[in-house]
Structure 1
Amino acid sequence: MFFPVDKTETIDVTGYTCVLPTVSIGNVGQLSIDLIISTLKCELIGSIFHRAVVPLFGKNAFDKQSKRPTTAIDVYVSKNHKLLILQIRTALVKRHQGEFVDSLYSWLNDVKIANVLVLSSVDAVERHDRAISEPDQIYFYEGLSENKIDREEIQRLSGKEFKMHYSLREQTDVDDFFPGSGYLPALIDKTKQLNSTFVSLFLYCLEGDNRPQGTMMTSFVLDLLAIKKENGNKYRTKCPHSWAILDDKLDSALSMF
């Protein structure tokens, strides 16, 4: 599943927090991961390949001069902040999502990851009335109550707990509560079977330019994980050069491929 950049080097990530996105509506999770990697100058250590993952091969998203390509799932580390970061750029084939989660958690257990934080977004068209009155509210959902990420700190940062109240709705399927969130429902179902834990952060959004939401999510994550510079100051988020194609002319955008 995991293929390291340097097969001769072993990177110890014992006790690290793994942060990863779901490929969801508006791409908020992916945008946030891009910002985290760029801001913290994370190191690429490998890629993940699985039959559930739609292949991708393109220019390097973070270094203009690099000849190393971007793939569907690239793996980065921030040794200073004990982060293992997965950037997932393509959707997972639905019939293989459960198998992917199995393989992912097997690997995360092997490398002794302490916490898993999943960044996502949900279709704003499907949100309930209360959520409509709270624009850009970050919600959190705990895969199991035994997770090690401090829920009180999430709430102190104004994160709001999301609960699935089956008795109050017609829906009984997890997918119905997280429309547009990619493989998040599969992750919830599978981790219950595996007795594994994670915390998901998400917000409601629509398709379009969601860079502000991605920046908001990034700031929330950095505050939640108490990630600061060595002098104690907060990081100022740094956009990767690949984001420039969103503002360039079409011919510049096509030059990426």
Structure 2
Amino acid sequence: MELNLEEGKHIYDECSTLILPALSIGNVGQLAVDLLIASTKAERIGYLDDPNVLPCVGNDAYTPTPQGDLALPLEAYESPSNALTLIQQRSPVVKGMMVEFAKNLADFAVACGKKHIVILSSLDFGRWQTIDMSSGLQIYYLSNAKVDGADDNCEKLGFKRMKEYDPTQKLWKYLNDLAEGNATEEDISSLEDDLGEEDYYPSLPFAAMFSCFKAKGLKVTCLLCYCSEGDNISDAFHLAEAACNLVGQSPESFKGNEGGRWVIPFSWQSVYGPPPDMSLF
């Protein structure tokens, strides 16, 4: 993975926390990163080139009057005033190459001196076993602070530990061995005939990323919410707010925001296409 810096841009040493999405159902992680980039007024410093990500191109996602800047599959943004680096991923990883992609991301994070990695992603609402909406939408987490995935700070913030995480379970253990170089991807063939419901979570992109960042000795926290396909903008707000709480930030502290409000990304105006032609009715 190679970082191609834009002219006159550089990596800020003070941006020691990296926030990025792991693609999943509803694209909530990507939407949350969109919201954070727009609200922190983060500047794009360049783009990442990785052979494991499918190519795509689009118009500027954050500026209403584009200057000819194109949006690319992997972009790096930095907000020095909030000590944050943000990576936005706009296209999926080539099938079967998720672990290689995660390894490349981990190498990039180490090379850039990142200390804390925050992964934002979503889980299938249809697999939620213990539904409790008494306190609103729940944020679940997975951390490498403790062996069982628990983290005292996340507990204080009211997040729920992802109880489905079991480092001794075969697929989680395989991911860990793969990330540490103690297994090969060909070894998965011996597991494929014996995969069950418990293998859903370690089969998702966030699990590969978690394992690879952890293998590099980095502090890593996954923030997750359950959702379904559809309009998940409200979930994105909730996940972005959780990320802010985790890193000690808030919309009120974002430089340049009037009244401490979230800034809606310009691209969201067309996220579900243009409004219907009312003459049809």
Contact 2:26 2:228 in 1 (8 A): yes
2:210 corresponds to 1:188: yes
Q: TM-score, normalised by structure 2?
A: 0.76
Q: Which amino acid aligns with 1:84?
A: T
1:236 aligns with 2:229: no
| Deviation sequence 1:96-144 (CA, Å, 0-9, x none) | 222222221112111111100000001111221x1x2246210000135
The answer for the alignment partner of 1:201 in structure 2 is 223
Q: What secondary structure does 2:260 align onto?
A: coil
- Rate the CA distance shift 1:99–1:144 in 2: closer, same or farther, 3 A: farther
Q: Verify: 1:2 aligned to 2:3, yes or no.
A: yes
Counterpart in the other structure of 2:90: 89
Tell me if 1:157 matches 2:179: no
The one-letter code matched in structure 1 to 2:201 is F
How much does 1:230 deviate? 5.3
Match of 2:144 in 1: 143
CA contact (8 A) 2:143 2:220 kept: yes
Shift of 1:63: 0.6
Alignment gaps of 5+ in structure 1:
253-257
* TM-score normalised by structure 1 residue count: 0.83
| Gaps in structure 2 of 5+ consecutive residues | 173-197
Decide which of 163, 171, 192 is 1:173's aligned counterpart: 171
Give the equivalent residue in structure 2 for 1:255: none
Alignment of 1:70-89 (within 5 A): 70-89=71-90
- Give % identity: 26
- The secondary structure found in structure 1 opposite 2:50 is coil
**RMSD of aligned alpha carbons:** 3.0
Partner SS state of residue 80, structure 1: helix
Which letter does structure 2 place at the counterpart of 1:110? A
Cα separation, partners in 2 of 1:196 and 1:17, compared to 1, 3 Å: closer
Shift of 1:93: 1.6
- Three-state SS of the structure 2 residue aligned to 1:209 is coil
Q: Is the 8 A contact 2:12 2:80 kept in 1?
A: no
